[in-house]
Amino acid sequence: MLVEDFLEPKILIVSGKGGVGKTTVAAALALVAARQGRKVCVAEVDRKGTLAKLLGGKELTYEPSQLLPGIWGMNIIPDRALEEYLQVQYHMRRFSKIFTSTHFVDYITTAGPGLKDILVLGKVWYLEQGRQASGSEGGFDTIILDAPAAGHMLTFLSAPSGLSDAVRVGPIRRQAKWLVEMLRDPKRSRVHLVTLPEEMPVSETLETAAALEGELKIDAGPVFANALYSELFNGPEQVELVRMRAERDHTPLLDEAEKVGLRLDDDDIESLVGYAHFLEARRTIQATHLKQLKKGIDEPVVELPFLFSAGLELPDIETLADVIEQRVEKL
Protein backbone atom coordinates (compact mmCIF):
# COMPACT_ATOMS: atom_id res chain seq x y z
CA MET A 1 0.00 0.00 0.00
CA LEU A 2 1.33 3.42 -0.92
CA VAL A 3 1.54 5.90 1.95
CA GLU A 4 -0.56 8.37 -0.05
CA ASP A 5 -3.30 5.72 -0.34
CA PHE A 6 -3.05 5.03 3.38
CA LEU A 7 -3.70 8.74 3.97
CA GLU A 8 -6.62 8.95 1.54
CA PRO A 9 -9.38 9.66 4.12
CA LYS A 10 -9.11 13.25 5.28
CA ILE A 11 -10.02 12.35 8.88
CA LEU A 12 -7.97 9.76 10.79
CA ILE A 13 -9.37 8.94 14.23
CA VAL A 14 -6.87 7.29 16.59
CA SER A 15 -8.11 5.43 19.65
CA GLY A 16 -7.18 2.63 22.02
CA LYS A 17 -7.26 1.56 25.64
CA GLY A 18 -5.68 4.09 27.99
CA GLY A 19 -1.91 3.77 28.21
CA VAL A 20 -1.32 1.93 24.92
CA GLY A 21 0.30 4.92 23.18
CA LYS A 22 -2.53 6.25 21.01
CA THR A 23 -1.31 9.84 21.38
CA THR A 24 2.18 8.74 20.35
CA VAL A 25 0.77 7.06 17.24
CA ALA A 26 -1.37 10.11 16.44
CA ALA A 27 1.75 12.31 16.59
CA ALA A 28 3.71 9.88 14.38
CA LEU A 29 0.86 9.81 11.84
CA ALA A 30 0.95 13.61 11.74
CA LEU A 31 4.64 13.46 10.79
CA VAL A 32 3.95 10.82 8.14
CA ALA A 33 1.23 12.98 6.57
CA ALA A 34 3.36 16.15 6.69
CA ARG A 35 6.20 14.32 4.93
CA GLN A 36 3.78 13.67 2.08
CA GLY A 37 3.37 17.41 1.64
CA ARG A 38 0.02 17.58 3.43
CA LYS A 39 -1.12 20.39 5.68
CA VAL A 40 -2.01 18.53 8.89
CA CYS A 41 -4.15 19.41 11.91
CA VAL A 42 -3.74 17.05 14.84
CA ALA A 43 -6.26 17.54 17.65
CA GLU A 44 -6.65 16.24 21.17
CA VAL A 45 -9.83 16.36 23.22
CA ASP A 46 -8.78 15.71 26.79
CA ARG A 47 -6.53 18.69 27.67
CA LYS A 48 -3.73 16.40 28.86
CA GLY A 49 -1.16 18.30 26.78
CA THR A 50 0.92 15.28 25.73
CA LEU A 51 0.49 15.84 22.01
CA ALA A 52 2.24 19.21 21.91
CA LYS A 53 5.16 17.91 23.97
CA LEU A 54 5.68 14.96 21.62
CA LEU A 55 5.80 17.30 18.63
CA GLY A 56 8.07 19.80 20.33
CA GLY A 57 5.53 22.61 20.43
CA LYS A 58 3.85 24.89 22.92
CA GLU A 59 0.65 24.18 24.84
CA LEU A 60 -2.36 23.69 22.56
CA THR A 61 -5.41 25.95 22.55
CA TYR A 62 -8.74 25.83 20.75
CA GLU A 63 -7.29 27.74 17.80
CA PRO A 64 -4.91 25.70 15.61
CA SER A 65 -1.28 26.75 16.07
CA GLN A 66 1.73 25.57 14.11
CA LEU A 67 3.89 23.00 15.89
CA LEU A 68 6.19 21.93 13.06
CA PRO A 69 6.43 22.66 9.33
CA GLY A 70 3.18 21.37 7.87
CA ILE A 71 1.68 20.42 11.26
CA TRP A 72 -0.81 22.42 13.32
CA GLY A 73 -2.18 21.33 16.69
CA MET A 74 -5.28 22.21 18.69
CA ASN A 75 -7.30 21.15 21.70
CA ILE A 76 -11.01 20.75 20.97
CA ILE A 77 -12.73 22.18 24.05
CA PRO A 78 -16.52 21.53 24.19
CA ASP A 79 -17.49 24.94 25.63
CA ARG A 80 -15.51 26.74 22.91
CA ALA A 81 -17.06 24.45 20.31
CA LEU A 82 -20.53 25.32 21.62
CA GLU A 83 -19.71 29.04 21.52
CA GLU A 84 -18.54 28.69 17.92
CA TYR A 85 -21.64 26.70 16.99
CA LEU A 86 -23.99 29.35 18.41
CA GLN A 87 -22.13 32.12 16.62
CA VAL A 88 -22.00 30.40 13.23
CA GLN A 89 -25.41 28.72 13.19
CA TYR A 90 -27.56 31.24 15.06
CA HIS A 91 -25.47 34.46 14.97
CA MET A 92 -25.59 34.64 18.78
CA ARG A 93 -22.24 36.34 19.19
CA ARG A 94 -23.56 38.74 21.86
CA PHE A 95 -25.12 36.00 24.02
CA SER A 96 -22.84 33.05 23.28
CA LYS A 97 -20.55 33.85 26.23
CA ILE A 98 -23.52 33.60 28.59
CA PHE A 99 -24.64 30.25 27.21
CA THR A 100 -21.15 28.79 27.09
CA SER A 101 -19.93 29.39 30.62
CA THR A 102 -18.33 26.30 32.10
CA HIS A 103 -21.19 25.70 34.56
CA PHE A 104 -23.83 26.08 31.85
CA VAL A 105 -22.01 23.70 29.50
CA ASP A 106 -21.61 21.15 32.28
CA TYR A 107 -25.33 21.46 33.06
CA ILE A 108 -26.61 20.97 29.53
CA THR A 109 -24.10 18.22 28.68
CA THR A 110 -25.15 16.33 31.81
CA ALA A 111 -28.80 16.78 30.87
CA GLY A 112 -28.04 15.67 27.30
CA PRO A 113 -25.60 12.72 27.36
CA GLY A 114 -23.39 12.66 24.30
CA LEU A 115 -23.62 16.39 23.63
CA LYS A 116 -19.93 16.95 24.39
CA ASP A 117 -19.10 14.25 21.86
CA ILE A 118 -21.37 15.93 19.31
CA LEU A 119 -19.60 19.25 19.87
CA VAL A 120 -16.16 17.68 19.37
CA LEU A 121 -17.22 15.84 16.21
CA GLY A 122 -18.96 18.97 14.97
CA LYS A 123 -15.66 20.84 15.22
CA VAL A 124 -13.97 18.06 13.25
CA TRP A 125 -16.67 18.49 10.59
CA TYR A 126 -15.98 22.24 10.48
CA LEU A 127 -12.26 21.55 10.04
CA GLU A 128 -12.99 19.06 7.27
CA GLN A 129 -15.11 21.67 5.51
CA GLY A 130 -12.28 24.21 5.81
CA ARG A 131 -14.22 26.51 8.13
CA GLN A 132 -13.08 28.38 11.23
CA ALA A 133 -14.98 30.50 13.72
CA SER A 134 -14.06 33.59 11.74
CA GLY A 135 -15.26 32.00 8.50
CA SER A 136 -11.73 31.83 7.06
CA GLU A 137 -10.56 28.83 5.08
CA GLY A 138 -8.74 26.24 7.17
CA GLY A 139 -7.37 24.30 4.25
CA PHE A 140 -6.19 21.20 6.14
CA ASP A 141 -5.48 18.16 3.97
CA THR A 142 -5.37 15.70 6.87
CA ILE A 143 -7.11 15.90 10.25
CA ILE A 144 -5.89 13.50 12.93
CA LEU A 145 -8.07 13.19 16.03
CA ASP A 146 -6.51 11.82 19.20
CA ALA A 147 -9.86 10.40 20.30
CA PRO A 148 -11.03 9.29 23.75
CA ALA A 149 -9.85 5.92 25.04
CA ALA A 150 -11.55 2.88 23.55
CA GLY A 151 -13.87 2.44 26.54
CA HIS A 152 -15.53 5.78 25.68
CA MET A 153 -14.75 5.78 21.97
CA LEU A 154 -17.76 3.71 20.89
CA THR A 155 -20.10 6.04 22.78
CA PHE A 156 -18.21 8.99 21.30
CA LEU A 157 -18.65 7.80 17.71
CA SER A 158 -22.23 6.65 18.16
CA ALA A 159 -23.40 10.03 19.55
CA PRO A 160 -24.37 11.52 16.14
CA SER A 161 -26.49 8.52 15.10
CA GLY A 162 -28.18 8.53 18.52
CA LEU A 163 -29.01 12.21 18.19
CA SER A 164 -30.22 11.69 14.61
CA ASP A 165 -32.59 8.96 15.80
CA ALA A 166 -33.83 11.03 18.75
CA VAL A 167 -34.44 14.30 16.88
CA ARG A 168 -36.67 13.71 13.88
CA VAL A 169 -36.89 17.19 12.33
CA GLY A 170 -35.15 20.56 12.26
CA PRO A 171 -31.57 21.85 11.88
CA ILE A 172 -30.16 19.70 14.70
CA ARG A 173 -31.45 16.57 13.00
CA ARG A 174 -29.88 17.72 9.72
CA GLN A 175 -26.55 18.51 11.35
CA ALA A 176 -26.46 15.17 13.19
CA LYS A 177 -27.05 13.50 9.83
CA TRP A 178 -24.04 15.36 8.41
CA LEU A 179 -21.85 13.92 11.20
CA VAL A 180 -23.14 10.39 10.63
CA GLU A 181 -22.40 10.72 6.92
CA MET A 182 -18.90 12.03 7.68
CA LEU A 183 -18.06 9.14 10.00
CA ARG A 184 -19.54 6.40 7.79
CA ASP A 185 -17.95 7.51 4.53
CA PRO A 186 -14.67 5.55 4.19
CA LYS A 187 -13.39 8.16 1.76
CA ARG A 188 -13.73 10.83 4.47
CA SER A 189 -13.07 9.06 7.81
CA ARG A 190 -11.23 6.06 9.17
CA VAL A 191 -10.54 4.77 12.68
CA HIS A 192 -7.14 3.39 13.62
CA LEU A 193 -7.02 1.38 16.84
CA VAL A 194 -3.84 1.18 18.91
CA THR A 195 -3.05 -1.67 21.28
CA LEU A 196 -0.27 -3.23 23.26
CA PRO A 197 0.47 -6.95 22.72
CA GLU A 198 -1.10 -7.79 26.08
CA GLU A 199 -4.23 -9.68 27.05
CA MET A 200 -6.59 -6.87 28.13
CA PRO A 201 -5.71 -4.31 25.41
CA VAL A 202 -5.94 -6.95 22.68
CA SER A 203 -9.29 -8.21 23.96
CA GLU A 204 -10.69 -4.67 24.08
CA THR A 205 -9.30 -3.91 20.61
CA LEU A 206 -11.04 -6.96 19.14
CA GLU A 207 -14.35 -5.93 20.73
CA THR A 208 -14.01 -2.35 19.51
CA ALA A 209 -13.09 -3.43 15.98
CA ALA A 210 -16.15 -5.68 15.83
CA ALA A 211 -18.40 -2.86 17.02
CA LEU A 212 -16.98 -0.43 14.45
CA GLU A 213 -17.69 -2.83 11.62
CA GLY A 214 -21.04 -3.99 12.99
CA GLU A 215 -23.28 -1.55 14.82
CA LEU A 216 -21.44 1.69 13.98
CA LYS A 217 -20.64 0.93 10.32
CA ILE A 218 -17.45 3.00 10.48
CA ASP A 219 -14.39 2.04 8.46
CA ALA A 220 -11.49 0.67 10.50
CA GLY A 221 -7.99 0.83 9.09
CA PRO A 222 -4.79 -0.99 10.02
CA VAL A 223 -4.37 -1.61 13.75
CA PHE A 224 -1.16 -0.45 15.43
CA ALA A 225 0.43 -2.96 17.79
CA ASN A 226 2.69 -0.75 19.88
CA ALA A 227 5.82 -1.32 21.99
CA LEU A 228 6.91 -4.68 20.61
CA TYR A 229 10.27 -5.98 21.76
CA SER A 230 12.62 -6.65 18.86
CA GLU A 231 14.37 -9.99 18.47
CA LEU A 232 17.53 -9.86 20.57
CA PHE A 233 19.30 -13.10 19.67
CA ASN A 234 19.39 -15.64 16.88
CA GLY A 235 19.11 -19.37 17.55
CA PRO A 236 22.77 -20.15 18.35
CA GLU A 237 23.04 -17.03 20.53
CA GLN A 238 20.00 -18.10 22.57
CA VAL A 239 21.55 -21.57 23.09
CA GLU A 240 24.80 -19.97 24.25
CA LEU A 241 22.90 -17.63 26.57
CA VAL A 242 21.11 -20.57 28.21
CA ARG A 243 24.42 -22.43 28.60
CA MET A 244 26.18 -19.46 30.21
CA ARG A 245 23.38 -18.97 32.70
CA ALA A 246 23.15 -22.66 33.58
CA GLU A 247 26.92 -23.06 34.01
CA ARG A 248 27.51 -19.54 35.32
CA ASP A 249 30.27 -19.29 32.74
CA HIS A 250 30.58 -15.58 31.96
CA THR A 251 34.00 -15.73 30.31
CA PRO A 252 32.79 -15.04 26.72
CA LEU A 253 30.90 -11.92 27.77
CA LEU A 254 33.66 -10.68 30.05
CA ASP A 255 36.13 -11.04 27.19
CA GLU A 256 33.87 -9.15 24.76
CA ALA A 257 33.30 -6.37 27.29
CA GLU A 258 37.03 -5.97 27.89
CA LYS A 259 37.62 -5.61 24.14
CA VAL A 260 35.52 -2.43 24.13
CA GLY A 261 36.96 -1.06 27.36
CA LEU A 262 34.25 -2.19 29.80
CA ARG A 263 35.36 -3.70 33.08
CA LEU A 264 32.53 -5.88 34.34
CA ASP A 265 32.42 -8.43 37.10
CA ASP A 266 30.36 -11.60 37.45
CA ASP A 267 27.49 -9.77 39.18
CA ASP A 268 27.25 -7.30 36.29
CA ILE A 269 27.10 -10.10 33.75
CA GLU A 270 24.57 -12.05 35.81
CA SER A 271 22.29 -9.00 35.85
CA LEU A 272 22.68 -8.50 32.10
CA VAL A 273 21.97 -12.15 31.33
CA GLY A 274 18.95 -12.13 33.64
CA TYR A 275 17.57 -9.03 31.94
CA ALA A 276 18.11 -10.62 28.53
CA HIS A 277 16.10 -13.66 29.64
CA PHE A 278 13.35 -11.35 30.95
CA LEU A 279 13.12 -9.55 27.59
CA GLU A 280 13.00 -12.83 25.70
CA ALA A 281 10.23 -14.08 28.00
CA ARG A 282 8.25 -10.87 27.48
CA ARG A 283 8.77 -11.15 23.74
CA THR A 284 7.36 -14.69 23.79
CA ILE A 285 4.27 -13.49 25.69
CA GLN A 286 3.85 -10.58 23.27
CA ALA A 287 4.04 -12.96 20.31
CA THR A 288 1.15 -15.00 21.75
CA HIS A 289 -1.12 -11.96 22.10
CA LEU A 290 -0.03 -10.57 18.73
CA LYS A 291 -1.07 -13.85 17.11
CA GLN A 292 -4.46 -13.61 18.83
CA LEU A 293 -4.88 -10.04 17.55
CA LYS A 294 -4.07 -10.94 13.95
CA LYS A 295 -6.36 -13.96 14.07
CA GLY A 296 -9.29 -11.97 15.48
CA ILE A 297 -9.48 -9.03 13.03
CA ASP A 298 -9.64 -8.56 9.29
CA GLU A 299 -7.53 -5.40 9.26
CA PRO A 300 -3.75 -5.61 8.84
CA VAL A 301 -1.55 -5.02 11.87
CA VAL A 302 1.30 -2.52 11.84
CA GLU A 303 3.92 -3.49 14.41
CA LEU A 304 5.75 -0.67 16.18
CA PRO A 305 8.91 -1.17 18.27
CA PHE A 306 9.36 -0.58 21.96
CA LEU A 307 11.44 2.56 22.39
CA PHE A 308 13.88 2.43 25.28
CA SER A 309 13.58 6.11 26.18
CA ALA A 310 13.17 7.71 29.58
CA GLY A 311 10.59 10.07 28.08
CA LEU A 312 9.39 10.19 24.49
CA GLU A 313 10.36 13.28 22.52
CA LEU A 314 10.30 14.42 18.89
CA PRO A 315 13.25 12.21 17.76
CA ASP A 316 11.36 9.16 19.05
CA ILE A 317 8.23 10.20 17.16
CA GLU A 318 10.34 10.61 14.01
CA THR A 319 11.60 7.04 14.50
CA LEU A 320 8.04 5.73 14.76
CA ALA A 321 7.05 7.73 11.67
CA ASP A 322 9.91 6.05 9.78
CA VAL A 323 8.68 2.62 10.86
CA ILE A 324 5.07 3.40 9.93
CA GLU A 325 6.10 4.53 6.45
CA GLN A 326 8.19 1.40 5.90
CA ARG A 327 5.55 -1.02 7.14
CA VAL A 328 2.60 0.64 5.44
CA GLU A 329 4.45 0.23 2.13
CA LYS A 330 4.53 -3.53 2.82
CA LEU A 331 0.79 -3.90 3.52
What are the pLDDT digits (tens) for 254-291? 888 888 888 888 888 888 888 888 888 899 999 999 99
Question: In degrees to the nearest 10, what's the CA dihedral of 193, 25, 54, 284?
Answer: 100
Q: Give the sheet arrangement for strand 65-68, strand by strand.
A: 65-68, 71-75, 40-44, 142-146, 11-16, 189-195, 223-228, 301-305
Which three-class secondary structure state does DSSP give residue 73?
Answer: strand
Judged against a pLDDT cut of 70, whether residue 166 lies above it is answered with no
Beta bridge partners of 225: 195, 303
Q: pLDDT band at residue 135, thresholds of 50, 70 and 90?
A: very low
> Domain for residue 260, yes or no?
no
> Domain for residue 257, yes or no?
no
Beta bridge partners of 191: 13, 220
Average pLDDT over residues 108-123: 72
What are the pLDDT digits (tens) for 28-75? 999 999 999 999 999 998 777 789 899 987 889 988 999 999 999 999
Q: Cα separation of 305 and 227, whole Å? A: 5
Q: Cα separation of 99 and 185, whole Å? A: 33
**Which CATH number fits the domain that encloses residue 136?**
3.40.50.300
> Domain for residue 250, yes or no?
no
> Domain for residue 284, yes or no?
no
> Domain for residue 263, yes or no?
no
Q: For residue 171, what are the domain limits?
A: 3-230+293-328
pTM of structure: 0.86
Provide the domain count of the chain. 1
Average pLDDT over residues 221-248: 85
> Domain for residue 278, yes or no?
no
DSSP structure string for 125-170:
HHHHTTB-TTS-B---SEEEEEPPPHHHHHHHHHHHHHHHHH--SS
> Domain for residue 135, yes or no?
yes
Judged against a pLDDT cut of 80, whether residue 83 lies above it is answered with no
> Domain for residue 316, yes or no?
yes
